[in-house]
């Protein structure tokens, strides 16, 4: 069976071109990761690629782990699927001892702490929040490839310090870091790029090692990452980039969508493939998504592939207060679960972390367990680490219980009960984690044993392949990117929340629009938007994005307005 057999016509067109520059403009839910992995597998199957000569670069360790896992499932081992930083750090650690005669500098683990020490040295006492903001500015300056003097000329204000103090603090931070022979996260990319530019033999070695490049989420590359990619590539042209300009949501961190939008101009001989067939969402959801991005640079027109089983438009509900909004969302979710939906099929997404507390309280009041995305990772939870160690120990001890009874015994000794504790809190999270491990054991197959199962858990931890917990997911819109759920609630669609209050320029509001688009396109079956008229003492108006989508008579009428009373009345009793 060919690696191309499982692809649709457009996906196959993207995956079958193995040489030269290729840009895949892939809309939400169009199967971009499938294209990336099947393209590499096709190259290996046909002998065009040697796995060890392929570099697949992405932005998070989790995404890199997913690429490795999917390639492994396609029978491909040995591809370097890593983040930009992991790749650069590996190259620094390999070449630095030869070039400098000493190990590479260590990496600082806390920029804010070192900034605090630099502030003490110049008798400044900025708040922790100000230090965090300065750390973000340092990161932005470096990924934008600006010197401190060039940055100073921009005059970007930071609350809590004046311009002179900010620059003095930045210089003090760099001096302290140099004195301790340390690098920060962004220095890793800068040092790797500098090494490749200054040392021809290093560049030649890297060019010999890696011949074929794939870059996922190319809309998120910064100038520094793009420069490093150019240095890795050298004078070769075998590069495939995949991205969606409508999902550029990290401009504040230095991402520039122009590298994706201008790829064809930079590579006139590039093959360009547009993926617009969406395999995730129902047609009414895609109608909302398309309306939101209509006329924006690089916007793709998403076309539904899946059969529609409801013609209901996404809903929008206005509440009086944030508390009532959270209670209304919780009541609707409770009704949905009572009607048969699994909690793991439901997500509530919002713009800022501060919005999560009231939602957690409202869901707990309904007896619904939640997981906050971006919190402790599954395999980092103490309960999970404890369970894996106990399973490995049990695998050594002789037992006649059999595999599944053995797993059940271990988990019960650690606290797994037949019924969950009350919703909310650490105890419920621990119970849900142990129950997820038991479900993995139930799905492991007839040949499984305690040793192979614990080894499989360790492999999943390495690839960050987390199992599904039967909880409702709470997440910021940023953290939800790349994920999907059958049922999605988007909370806080009011001016000041989305777009957020400090988005005052056209560019900043457009980034908020793209963030809203990411939220909408996470939904597969149902989508419910909501907002509240007041936050504390202030009065608010609905988000301008709602008006564009048709709730005030100026749009296309593609959102169905509901009332809080109607939402509560629809709940089964």
Residue 297 per-residue DSSP state? T
Spatial distance between the Cα atoms of 251 and 247, rounded to a whole number of angstroms: 11
Q: Are 563 and 317 in contact (CB under 8 A)?
A: yes
Residues 6 or more apart whose CB falls under 8 angstroms from that of 414 comprise 383, 386, 387, 390, 434
Q: Are 445 and 344 in contact (CB under 8 A)?
A: no
- Please give the pLDDT value at position 224: 97
pLDDT at position 570: 42
Q: What is the pLDDT, as a whole number, of residue 426?
A: 63
The number of angstroms, rounded, from the C-alpha of 520 to the middle of its chain's C-alpha atoms is 15
Q: What is the C-alpha separation between 255 and 515, in angstroms, rounded?
A: 14
pLDDT at 565: 63
**Token representation of residue 234:** 């050298």
Which mean pLDDT values do the consecutive 10-residue runs of the chain (573 residues) have?
87 93 95 94 94 93 89 92 94 93 90 92 88 92 95 88 91 94 95 95 94 95 96 93 94 92 93 95 92 92 76 87 93 94 95 87 87 77 87 79 87 85 65 85 82 86 76 93 95 92 89 96 95 80 86 55 61 40
- Of 306, 280, 301, 300, whose CA–CA distance to 23 is shortest? 300
Report the alpha-carbon distance of residue 42 to residue 46 in Å, rounded: 6
Residues 6 or more apart whose CB falls under 8 angstroms from that of 246 comprise 27, 28, 293, 296, 298, 299, 300, 514, 517
The span from the CA of 286 to the CA of 213, in Å, is 32
- pTM for this entry: 0.83
Neighbours of 296 (CB within 10 A): 14
Smallest CA-to-CA distance from 59 within 88, 83, 30, 90 is with: 83
Instruction: Please state, in angstroms and as integers, the Cα–Cα distance from residue 369 to each residue in 31, 366, 383, 427, following that order.
Output: 31, 9, 17, 11
- Rounded to whole angstroms, the Cα distance separating 122 from 17 reads 57
pLDDT score of 554: 39
Q: Which of 99, 38, 45 is nearest to 70 (CA)?
A: 38
Give the DSSP H or E segment for 405: helix 403-413
Strand partners, 472: 370
Q: Are the CB atoms for 319 and 531 separated by under 8 Å?
A: yes
Pairwise CA distance, residues 55 & 80, whole Å: 5
Query: Do residues 92 and 189 lie in contact, with contact meaning Cβ atoms separated by under 8 Å?
Result: no
CA–CA separation, 84 and 185 (whole Å)? 11
Q: Which two tokens stand for residue 49?
A: 């690629």
């Amino acid at each position: 069976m060919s690696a191309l057999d499982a692809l649709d016509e457009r996906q196959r067109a993207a995956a079958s071109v193995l040489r030269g520059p290729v840009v895949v403009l892939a809309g939400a839910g169009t199967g971009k990761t499938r294209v990336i992995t099947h393209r590499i597998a096709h190259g290996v199957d046909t002998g065009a690629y040697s796995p060890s000569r392929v570099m697949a670069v992405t932005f998070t360790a989790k995404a890199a782990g997913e690429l490795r896992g999917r390639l492994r499932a396609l029978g491909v081992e040995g591809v370097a699927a890593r983040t930009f930083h992991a790749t650069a750090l590996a190259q620094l650690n390999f070449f630095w001892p030869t070039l400098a005669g000493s190990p590479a500098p260590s990496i600082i683990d806390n920029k804010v702490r070192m900034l605090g020490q630099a502030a003490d040295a110049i008798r400044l006492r900025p708040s922790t929040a100000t230090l965090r903001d300065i750390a973000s500015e340092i990161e932005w300056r470096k990924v934008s490839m600006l010197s401190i003097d060039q940055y100073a000329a921009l005059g970007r204000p930071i609350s809590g310090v004046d311009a002179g103090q900010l620059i003095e603090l930045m210089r003090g931070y760099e001096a302290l870091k140099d004195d301790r022979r340390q690098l920060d996260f962004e220095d890793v990319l800068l040092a790797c790029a500098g090494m490749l530019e200054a040392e021809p033999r290093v560049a030649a070695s890297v060019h010999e090692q890696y011949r074929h490049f794939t870059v996922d989420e190319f809309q998120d590359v910064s100038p520094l990452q793009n420069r490093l990619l150019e240095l890795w590539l050298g004078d070769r042209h075998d590069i495939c980039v995949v991205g969606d300009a409508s999902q550029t949501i990290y401009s504040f961190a230095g991402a520039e969508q122009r590298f994706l939008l201008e790829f064809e101009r930079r590579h006139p001989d590039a093959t360009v493939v547009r993926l617009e067939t969406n395999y995730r969402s129902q047609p009414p959801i895609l109608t909302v998504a398309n309306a939101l991005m209509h006329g924006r640079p690089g916007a793709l027109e998403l076309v539904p592939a899946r059969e529609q089983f409801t013609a209901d438009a996404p809903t929008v509900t206005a509440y009086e207060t944030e508390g009532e909004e959270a209670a209304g969302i919780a009541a609707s979710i409770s009704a949905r679960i009572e009607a048969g939906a699994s909690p793991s099929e439901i997500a509530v997404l919002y713009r800022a972390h501060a919005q999560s507390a009231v939602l957690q309280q409202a869901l707990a009041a309904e007896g619904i367990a939640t997981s906050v995305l971006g919190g402790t990772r599954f395999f980092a939870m103490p309960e999970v680490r404890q369970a894996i160690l106990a399973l490995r120990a049990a695998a050594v001890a002789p037992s006649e219980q059999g595999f599944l009874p053995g797993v059940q015994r271990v988990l019960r000794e650690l606290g797994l009960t037949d019924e969950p504790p009350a919703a909310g809190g650490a105890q419920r999270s621990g119970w849900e984690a142990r129950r997820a491990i038991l479900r993995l054991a139930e799905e492991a197959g007839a040949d499984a044993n305690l040793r192979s199962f614990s080894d499989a858990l360790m492999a999943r931890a390495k690839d960050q392949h987390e199992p599904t917990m039967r909880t409702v997911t709470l997440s910021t819109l940023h953290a939800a990117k790349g994920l999907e759920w059958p049922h999605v609630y988007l909370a806080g669609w009011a001016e000041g929340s989305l777009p957020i209050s400090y988005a005052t320029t056209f560019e900043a509001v457009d980034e908020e629009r793209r963030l809203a688009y990411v939220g909408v396109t996470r939904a597969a079956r149902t989508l419910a938007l909501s907002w509240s008229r007041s936050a504390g003492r202030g009065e608010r108006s609905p988000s301008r994005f709602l008006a564009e989508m048709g709730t005030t008579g100026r749009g296309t009428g593609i959102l169905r307005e509901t009332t809080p009373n109607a939402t509560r009345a629809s709940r089964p009793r």
